[in-house]
Amino acid sequence: MSTKIKLRKKVKLGTASSKSSKDGGETQDFKKKGFRGNRNAQFSMDDVVVDVRYGDNRMYKKENGGRSNVRSKRPKDDGETLDFKKKGFRRNRNAQFSMEDSVDIHYGDNKLYRKENGGRSNVSLKINSKSVYERKFDGNRGFKPINDDCKRKRVYADRDNSKNVETPTRKVLSKRWNELKDGLAKGKRTTRVKSHDFEQPEKVKFLKGERKFRETESLDSNGGKKLRLKAVDKMDRGGISLMKTDAKNKFESRKQSEQNHDGYAAEPLGKFAKKKAHDKKSVGDDWAGNVDRRKKRKPAIRIDPHDISNKRLDDGIATIGHNIEKKEDEEKNTSVEMSKNAEFRAIKPSPSILSFVEDNFLGRRRLIELRRAGYNTELSAPLDNIPFSRSAERERIEESIFRNKLTFFAAANVSSSFLPPELPEIAFAGRSNVGKSSLLNSLTRQWGVVRTSDKPGLTQTINFFKLGLKLCLVDLPGYGFAYAKEEVKEAWEELVKEYVSTRVGLKRVCLLIDTKWGMKPRDHELIDLMERSQTKYQIVLTKTDLVFPIDVARRAMQIEENLKAKKSAVQPVMMVSSKSGAGIQFKNSAG
Ligand SMILES: Nc1nc2c(ncn2[C@@H]2O[C@H](COP(=O)(O)OP(=O)(O)OP(=O)(O)O)[C@@H](O)[C@H]2O)c(=O)[nH]1
Ligand SMILES: [Mg+2]
């Protein structure tokens, strides 16, 4: 049937066209079709082959990305002009030649297109007759021949293709396909597709009028076999059932042909083709009976209705096994914390504490609120925001005692270097970074006299400051976490303990507690020590601007309750913010 005429012509490098056919039929416009010259192209024997077979059976082969350094074979007669551009053979100067990239196009009575590599021009192109088509594809490949009326028609191995069987359109098929896949993914069994349709061999039992019946076997709940008779609509067979068996056939034939390594299947597949094959294969696998294989499901999320933070909680569908143990451990660990939190939230502050918090604008507040209350929110220095008291009396006291009178006069890192007490002393103790030095600054409105840092452990010695001629304020090093060596921190702690328990002239220790975190074991340790040594101490809640007003009140209430039995504790609990200045003016009255 097919006559092969091979002509090889060398096309000049850099020219934009090849020579016309012998009989002067239609001209191959290479320029138009992407065979433009490329002056920069390097000629190489390896990457130049253009085979064109004409006649009833046409065959084109073109490689090297459509560049002009090609050899061409011209046919005897020109049948049709090949519109390379239309078929996706656009010129691509940057295309890299690869043997893996190929495009095959078969023309004839049954036209067949195979296009790979995204339509790039490094292609081989063949036009064959029906016989070639049949030989190559064996009807099994599922490629789409094009009818004369330009309608796509599927070709199946087990079907008589000569009959013009009406098949569902591509759109309808893909819709059904998606429906089926969705049905399987959801674990629902659709009425059409059942697992035993694939697992058990089915037979058409008999025909009754227009309906066919098929016999299927399936396992019942007791493990026994059940026979079922199912009516099968003609359309059903022609549509979905046909589709799934053909998908199976396609997959199997592809697998076979890949194993054989002869004929068409021996051709190396391009990247795109491999991906396509893989996709088909996976789909084929599904249809071939791997319906048990479950799709990975996203763990369902539920929202805890009682959690105002709206955290998403895993309901544990996907976290079986060791994750459960992990969760249990976490629950154990957090249960203590959770109960503490719950305990804290259950605290009902006394009306006096609540009104104190409200009157002094303690807690996290909106700027507008602070501004209205007379706080200077425009100041750039973060801690230089102490409001002046609106009481003329208080202002007079502040002015005379605290304002601009703080002066550093001594530091000690061992008890032997303590100076003899000349003035009554008020010390500021607490964990590292709780805001001791900042409070000293905000009390006196002198920024820079006492050094502060966001890095815990800045103050490492006992620092003595004179406040006018009446008081001595003492900044103590912090305890707990700090950026310092363990032995150094231990030394500080010992020094602080020694100071608070033995210092003559120490009138009061302001024990600073972070409002957010409350009292920690080391704070209790120090309290016990001061109780033993009968040193007066007063709790000062710091950084109140970082928590809600209600929590400030709760924390104050909690501490007051804890300290009720303590003899050396001075009530009330103070609440301040060195940043906003809230609560500071009331501190002054203690002095
Ligand atoms: N938001 C806010 N931050 C504060 C407040 N008081 C202090 N800070 C910040 O907390 C950090 C620690 O402040 P310091 O005054 O150095 O704390 P300290 O207790 O002296 O720390 P050590 O000297 O390391 O023991 C600094 O970054 C301050 O700006 C406050 O009332 N509110
Ligand atoms: Mg400090």
Whose tokens are 């507040």? That residue is 365
pLDDT per residue as tens digits for the range 55-86: 344 444 444 444 444 444 444 444 444 444 44
Distance CA 382, CA 579 (A): 6
Tell how far the Cα of 460 is from the centroid of ligand 2, in angstroms.
8
DSSP letters, 104-121, are: EEE-SSSEEEE--GGG-S
Identify the band that residue 585 occupies on the pLDDT scale cut at 50, 70 and 90.
low
Phi, psi torsion values for 190, nearest 5 degrees = -75, 165
Specify the 3-state DSSP secondary structure of 72: strand
Query: Which residue has the least CA distance to atom 23 on ligand 1?
Result: 459
- Is the pLDDT score of 528 beyond 70? yes
Strand pairing report for 506-514 and 425-430 = parallel
In the chain, the percentage of residues whose pLDDT exceeds 90 is 21
Identify the band that residue 355 occupies on the pLDDT scale cut at 50, 70 and 90.
very high
Per-residue model confidence (pLDDT) at position 417: 87
Distance CA 43, CA 68 (A): 9
Per-residue model confidence (pLDDT) at position 490: 85
> Does 57 contact ligand 1 (Cβ within 6 A)?
no
Distance CA 350, CA 355 (A): 9
Nearest ligand, CA 489: 1
pLDDT per residue as tens digits for the range 171-215: 888 888 888 777 766 654 444 444 444 444 444 444 444 444 454
Per-residue model confidence (pLDDT) at position 251: 53
Most confident of 290-304, 345-359, 400-414: 345-359
Distance CA 420, CA 504 (A): 9
Supply the DSSP symbol for 237: I
Task: Confirm if 518 and 485 have CB atoms less than 8 A apart.
Answer: no
Residue 145's H or E segment, with its range, is strand 145-146
Task: Provide the residues around ligand 2 (an ion) whose CB is within 5 A.
Answer: 436-437, 459
- Residue 440 CA: nearest ligand 1 atom is 15
Nearest ligand, CA 455: 1
Tell how far the Cα of 454 is from the centroid of ligand 2, in angstroms.
9
Higher pLDDT, 171 or 427: 427
Per-residue model confidence (pLDDT) at position 563: 92
> Does 64 contact ligand 1 (Cβ within 6 A)?
no
Specify the 3-state DSSP secondary structure of 474: strand
- Is the pLDDT score of 354 beyond 90? yes
Specify the 3-state DSSP secondary structure of 431: strand
Per-residue model confidence (pLDDT) at position 419: 87
Nearest ligand, CA 584: 1
Dihedral of the CA atoms 421, 424, 430, 433 (nearest 10)? -90
3-state helix, strand, coil in the chain (%, to 5): 35, 15, 50
Rg (CA), the chain: 44
> Does 458 contact ligand 1 (Cβ within 6 A)?
yes
Tell how far the Cα of 203 is from the centroid of ligand 1, in angstroms.
83
Helix and strand numbers (H, E) in the chain are 16, 19
- Is the pLDDT score of 372 beyond 50? yes
User: What domains can you pick out in the chain, each with its CATH number?
Assistant: 1-137 (no CATH), 170-292 (no CATH), 301-346 (no CATH), 351-590 (3.40.50.300)
- Is the pLDDT score of 304 beyond 70? no
Tell how far the Cα of 387 is from the centroid of ligand 1, in angstroms.
19
Per-residue model confidence (pLDDT) at position 520: 94
Average confidence score pLDDT of the chain: 63
Identify the band that residue 338 occupies on the pLDDT scale cut at 50, 70 and 90.
low
Tell how far the Cα of 39 is from the centroid of ligand 1, in angstroms.
73
Higher pLDDT, 475 or 284: 475
Per-residue model confidence (pLDDT) at position 47: 42
Residue 350 CB neighbours (<10 A): 13
Identify the band that residue 404 occupies on the pLDDT scale cut at 50, 70 and 90.
low
Per-residue model confidence (pLDDT) at position 543: 94
Tell how far the Cα of 480 is from the centroid of ligand 2, in angstroms.
13
Per-residue model confidence (pLDDT) at position 173: 81
Identify the band that residue 365 occupies on the pLDDT scale cut at 50, 70 and 90.
confident
Per-residue model confidence (pLDDT) at position 525: 93
In this structure, of 349-363, 558-572, 575-589, the range with the lowest mean pLDDT score is 575-589
> Does 432 contact ligand 1 (Cβ within 6 A)?
yes
Per-residue model confidence (pLDDT) at position 15: 36
> Does 436 contact ligand 1 (Cβ within 6 A)?
yes
Per-residue model confidence (pLDDT) at position 482: 75
pLDDT per residue as tens digits for the range 253-278: 555 544 444 433 334 444 554 555 45
Per-residue model confidence (pLDDT) at position 170: 79
Residue of 438, 441, 577 with the most ligand 1 atoms within 8 Å of its CB, for mutation? 438
Per-residue model confidence (pLDDT) at position 38: 45
Identify the band that residue 322 occupies on the pLDDT scale cut at 50, 70 and 90.
low
Most confident of 29-33, 149-153, 529-533: 529-533
Mean pLDDT score, 431-453? 82
